[in-house]
Amino acid sequence: MFGSQLEGPERGIRNPRVLDAMNRVPRHEFVPEAARGQAYADAPLPIGHGQTISQPFIVAFMTEQLDPQPADRVLEIGTGSGYQAAVLSLLVKEVFTIEIVEPLARRAAADLARLGYSNVHVRVGDGHEGWPEEAPFDAIIVTCAPATVPVALLDQLKDGGRMVLPVGDRTSQELVVFEKRGTDVLCREVLPVRFVPMTGGEGGSESSP
């Protein structure tokens, strides 16, 4: 479906499970009707309320960096259209996803249910707080950019867990991968990006590079 957008020499998404999930989720179902002709273009698209659905490459890249496993329980911050959650749902046991913009959360929940993604749980709320009653999580993915890493999210990550999120302001952001090892947290910067700012506790949704 996406071909060289994901697998070309300059892109290099190699995880076969991620590529399969990307090709199985119908992206056109997660964009407004007027934009469906552009649904498989390598670009973000507006979904209303000042938010966007991420370009396919960013979804695939973040998912691959998260290294999702079949038994994982994953927390997503920034549901947006529900597209990233749908991709994750094919790769893990359960997805818990939080969106601060209520109309987006309601629409995403309805679309995910209509399309049969029954292992995705959608909540309206502030992503800075995470989802403590369902913690700890094997992996956390954040699709909006906080200025600093929310402490609550690190606290809700399992020992050995991974978290992928953009960090920075509107002028400079870096996609960072964290790995929790006991009391230590390892981190590495992997890609300059430009995401919608994270709102709420520090005052979201999806991305574009």
Residue with tokens 């498989």, as numbered in its chain: 40
Query: Rounded distance, CA 110 to CA 143, Å?
Result: 20
pLDDT at 10: 65
pLDDT at 64: 97
Q: Which two tokens stand for residue 79?
A: 């549901």
Set out the domains of the chain in order of their start, with CATH numbers.
4-208 (3.40.50.150)
DSSP-assigned states of every residue in 36-100: GGGTTSSS-EEEETTEEEPPHHHHHHHHHHH---TT-EEEEE--TTSHHHHHHHTTSSEEEEEES
Checking if the pLDDT of 136 tops 60, the result is yes
Tell me the pLDDT band of 205, cut-offs 50, 70 and 90.
very low
Tell me the pLDDT band of 3, cut-offs 50, 70 and 90.
low
Nearest to 68 by CA among 85, 81, 82, 44: 85
pLDDT tens, position by position, 46-93: 999 989 999 999 999 999 999 999 999 999 999 999 999 999 999 999
pLDDT tens, position by position, 170-184: 889 999 999 999 989
Percent of the chain with pLDDT over 90: 82
Catalytically active residues are: 54
Checking if the pLDDT of 29 tops 70, the result is yes
